[in-house]
Amino acid sequence: MLAELHNWNSKTKALLLASSLSGGAGAILNEITEVDRHDFDSLVTSLKNRFGSVNRAEVFRAELQTRVRFNNESLPDLAQAIKKLTRRAYPGTSPLVRDTLALDSFIDAIIETEVRLRVREVGPKSINEAENIAVRLEALRVADIRKVEMFALSILKPFKSLI
């Protein structure tokens, strides 16, 4: 946006980008020719080849297919991770296709069978909608478990003195 605002040419954009690189990204400058260092498109292509997800899409697709909810991972955190993985696994696809893939992957990643099946049964249209449904279902499930536990404790209370 700054380049557009200031009407920078390719060489100016390349020099400013190159001067802002550090670490592994900065090391790229030692691996490309001086001509490429002064050409914005060549510099961006080198950075994409090294760090971009296009060349690693297969790895991200495999990770997405096997992704499940971690212990103590919240459903919003899971949804965010799925969205990120989907963007990386399918970088060239349309947002509509990516959203559909993210939705299916999110539902599949929910390990609690009852919640997963109920979310699928409701038929959400987006991952955000699925996340909201799953959060509500999980809250209801947890509340129900606590209610059963409290009921069980109230039944056992009279027998506590016998133990």
Task: Show me where the domains of the chain are located.
Answer: 2-51, 56-157
Quote the pLDDT of residue 53. 58
Mean pLDDT of successive 10-residue stretches along the chain, which has 163 residues: 90 92 88 91 87 77 96 97 95 93 98 95 97 96 87 75 62
Three-state SS string over 6-28 comes to HCCCHHHHHHHHHHHCCHHHHHH
Q: What is the per-residue pLDDT across 85-95, written as a single tens digit (0 to 9) for each?
A: 999 999 889 99
Quote the pLDDT of residue 67. 97
CB 119 within 8 A of CB 107: yes
Please give the model's pTM, rounded to 2 decimal places. 0.66
Quote the pLDDT of residue 24. 85
69 three-class SS: coil
Quote the pLDDT of residue 49. 80
- Residues 6 or more apart whose CB falls under 8 angstroms from that of 125 comprise 103
Quote the pLDDT of residue 136. 96
